[in-house]
Amino acid sequence: MSGANGSATGAARIEILRAQLRAEAAVEPPAVATSPAAKHTQIIAIYGKGGIGKSFTLANLSYMMAQQGRKVLLIGCDPKSDTTSLLFGGRACPTIIETSSRKKLAGEQVAIGDVCFKRDGVFAMELGGPEVGRGCGGRGIIHGFETLEKLGFHDWGFDYVLLDFLGDVVCGGFGLPIARDMCQKVIVVGSNDLQSLYVANNVCSAVEYFRKLGGNVGVAGLVINKDDGTGEAQAFAQAAGIPVLASIPAHEDIRRKSASYEIIGKPGGPWGPLFAQLAENVAAAPPVRPKPLTQDALLGLFASDVTGRNVVLEPATEFDMVGRHGAVKKSLEVVYDTV
């Protein structure tokens, strides 16, 4: 009898499952969505030589974007943690790495309010880095982004996320946005000097390298800072096939206000139109594949008396190294008699 009861119970269960499947199949699928697509965040990585003015450019650019009604997040990815200092009037912003370490020791979780701060509509944070001589800055960047992901970075509803990276450090952590397609486009900040354009060219080379490996990041353009009108940066942009998004002049008023942590990218101010146009150009510029220059082509943008490219390489001799002509030494090679 138990066998018969078991078979009956099994058959009943099968019938219940069939009824559930019929009920699910009878439900009409939802209508095709016709509403506008969800907000698409532009993530833009900004690179440049240390001290070239990335933080100055980004603080004023992000401020202007916010005044134009855009929701902007500025993330400092430089171990110096100075990206947000201009935005916050010189005040230091607690970094993600520093806060994460402190919270971990206390057995607490990092909250958004611990590391993200805002001013006049601009949201900002610093990834930070290890103390001098105590760790790898690139690894710190990777750890910082891991923390951001835990905080829900990919679900945040920003129009623009601006990442400030040190361009003359070539380790993997600083190349993360390009190598892993974490941003859609790159902006380089340079000036009319060889070193800053050397860094800008390296960034273009990195972008092109990862494009050949199947990456999708492109260069949106060059911002020329402290432009003295000599034209080398403009010539570089043309040779590399990227547009100039803005030329910020080498003006005493800009230097003085920047040194006193004053935002100049304000609507109605004398430099407002410059940063308003930069904001529009940054938003609209498509990511393009750059054409990195060879070292000789890069040197060719400058006068030979500036770069010394007419110098001839003279090979050193043994006499140069030891102060005498060495005797010919017998070879220690074993030579076997041939049979």
For 294, the token pair is 């060879």
CA angle 81–93–82, rounded 5-degree value: 25
DSSP 144-159: HHHHHHHTTGGG---S
Cα(279)–Cα(66) distance, rounded to whole angstroms? 10
C-beta separation of 149 from 96 below 8 A = no
Cα(193)–Cα(230) distance, rounded to whole angstroms? 10
C-beta separation of 90 from 261 below 8 A = yes
Q: From 198, 199, 194, 277, select the one nearest 243 (Cα to Cα).
A: 277
Cα(310)–Cα(300) distance, rounded to whole angstroms? 11
For 64, the token pair is 């202007």
For 211, the token pair is 């494009």
For 255, the token pair is 């230097």
Catalytic residues: 49, 54, 80, 168
Distance of CA 48 to the CA centre of its chain: 10
List C-alpha distances in Å: 237 to 138, 200, 210, 234.
28, 10, 20, 5
Where in the chain does DSSP place strands (E)?
Answer: 42-48, 72-76, 117-119, 122-126, 160-166, 185-190, 218-227, 244-249
DSSP state of 95: B
For 140, the token pair is 């710190």
User: In this structure, what is the dihedral angle of CA atoms 86, 89, 90, 93, given to the nearest 10 degrees?
Assistant: -80
